Amino acid sequence: MIKKLLKPTFKKRIIFFLIFDIISSIFSLYSAYLLRFNLNIEHKYLHNFLEIAALFVFIKVLFLSLFGQYSIVWRFYTLNDAKRLLFAHILSYFLILLFTSSSKIFLFHFQEV
């Protein structure tokens, strides 16, 4: 039973990288908030954090999967795969920037509560 659970499979690898990408994306967004507010985030600035984090994670995972980053055999990772990873991140951050600067729902505009 334990051997079967610990045996690496394609599906387990995808789930592992997906969970890692979600956690690292949320952590990086929260770290950006901490840096922006000098390690002292007031509650009024966190009111839309979950919506922004959901958008952030969705777009990053979408672009990483569209560029085939979850189906790579890491033993044979090439420079071409690294280029696709970089391009997926650049496009996802550009799209996130577009959403956050143009949409009233996800606008990084902090108002007094």
- Amino acid (one-letter) located at 109: H
Q: Is the pLDDT of residue 23 over 90?
A: yes
Q: Which residue has the tokens 């033993």?
A: 75
Q: Read off the pLDDT band of 7 (50, 70, 90).
A: confident
pLDDT of residue 107: 47
- The answer to whether residues 81 and 72 touch, using CB atoms and an 8 Å cutoff, is yes
pLDDT of residue 102: 66
Token pair of 59, please?
């777009």
Q: What is the mean pLDDT of residues 5-33?
A: 85
% pLDDT > 70, the chain: 88
pLDDT of residue 9: 76
- The answer to whether residues 26 and 51 touch, using CB atoms and an 8 Å cutoff, is no
pLDDT tens digit string along 32-79?
888 888 888 888 778 778 888 888 899 888 888 888 887 777 778 788
Mean pLDDT of the chain: 80
DSSP code of 77?
A: -
% pLDDT > 90, the chain: 6
